[in-house]
Amino acid sequence: MPVITEIEDLRRIYHRRVPRMFYDYCETGSWTQQTFRENTSDFADIRLRQRVAVDMEGRSTATTMVGEDVAMPVALAPVGMTGMQCADGEIKAARAAEKFGVPYTLSTMSICSIEDVAEHTTKPFWFQLYVMRDEEYVANIIQRAKDAKCSALVLTLDLQILGQRHRDLKNGLSAPPKLTIPTMMNLATKWGWGLEMLGTKRRQFGNIVGHAKGVTDASSLMSWTHENFDPRLNWDRVKALKEQWGGKLILKGILDEEDARRALDVGADAIVVSNHGGRQLDGALSAIRALPGIVRAVGDQVEVHFDSGIRSGQDVLKALALGARATYIGRAYIYGLGAMGEAGVTRALEVIHKELDTTMALCGRKTIEGLSRDILLVPDDFE
């Protein structure tokens, strides 16, 4: 077993183990991938202020997210088709998160259903909703999330229309993969992944197949999904969905100060500053550049969460110091899951925790609440 010291180690193993189609689905952004690249490179431009001779005994990364205790402010972001990265991937990721003490968010587009994950976990998880044209379907899935005791609804606002992802189009992305000569040749080299997949019954999109009108298998699902992302989504619908849900609401995909203010009017419990990991509007600001302005605009009135580009505990610390209340990771835990299943997600969380704790200490801070802007050196052109 190789020694895993950083997230990049997990990415390399993941790359070797998982079919190329699903690796590419995870590891690319939309269009030219400028925003995808800047999500990470802009983090690297922020430097840290080293402090010394500050008593660092008794540090803690514990805090809360929308009122829930967390071991560190790093939730697992919703990721579609997680169950194609690793058999029963959503269940494994949820279990790792539960044991670590951080929230897990199940995507609408997951392979395992809400009920599958609820059956294999003991604590409430969060459910992410894509707003679909079919209102009956939406009402039904909200009810299923309530029945499964999901403790927050993460409503994604930045995917009314799917961003153009060239690599997925070229690969003919589908789940399960269509058996063309190139995919078969690639699958032949991924036998560990294949053996695991043979051992699961869950190769369908359990939140949708059998629940949406006319969707009985994976192929009818693809066309239903593409036709059903609701381009009419507006703030009135968001308000209506808040009423329908009745619980904690997190609005994900805010990148603009005006939209952040609109989110306040809706009465969201939190917003997530996010550009969907660079998968939607290419050319948009990196999420870390967008963060300070949004914190200035609404940070004293709503919890501001952050994702897009986090690959280390240092990145988590930078986002928190710029005013985020908490963060999410997407790819960083998918690498772990694809590399080593549940143990890999745990390892990803351990790596990030260790990096966050060490960096806090070397910057002279003992608690998450103690992190502030003055531990950073931010480039002049940053905001």
| Gap between the Cα atoms of 323 and 251, Å rounded | 17
Rounded-to-integer distance, Cα 12 and Cα 23, Å: 11
Cα distances from 48 to residues 51, 301, 306, 364, in angstroms, run 9, 27, 19, 11
> What are the φ/ψ torsions at residue 94 (nearest 5 degrees)?
-65, -40
Q: Is 337 left (phi over 0), alpha (psi -120 to 50) or beta?
A: alpha
- Tokens (6 digits) for 373: 């802007």
Candidates 61, 225, 228, 274; binder of ligand FNR (CB under 6 A) is 274
Residue 19 vs 365, nearer CB to ligand FNR:
19
CA-closest candidate to residue 125, choices 28, 305, 250, 23: 250
Choosing from 293, 330, 336, 338, the residue that interacts with ligand FNR (CB under 6 A) is 330
Which lies closer to ligand FNR via its Cβ, residue 75 or residue 295? 75
Binds ligand FNR by CB under 6 A, chosen from 73, 78, 163, 323: 78
* Paired residues of 47 in beta bridges: 377
Which of positions 232-261 make contact with ligand FNR (CB under 6 A)?
252
Q: What end-to-end distance do the CA atoms of the chain give, in Å?
A: 43
Answer for which of 77, 273, 319, 356 binds ligand FNR (CB under 6 A) is 77
- Site map 99..118 versus ligand FNR, x via CB under 6 A: --------x-x---------
Comparison of 24 and 196: residue with beta carbon closer to ligand FNR: 24
Q: Give Dmax over CA atoms of the chain in angstroms.
A: 66
Catalytic, 305? Answer no
Stretch that binds ligand FNR, among 53-61, 240-248, 308-316, 358-366 (CB under 6 A): 308-316
The amino acid that residue 207 corresponds to is N
Check residue 329 for interaction with ligand FNR (CB under 6 A).
yes
The verdict on 26 binding ligand FNR (CB under 6 A) reads yes
Binding site for ligand FNR (CB under 6 A): 25-26, 39, 77-80, 107, 109, 128, 156, 252, 274, 276-277, 279, 307-310, 329-332
Residues with a catalytic annotation lie at 276
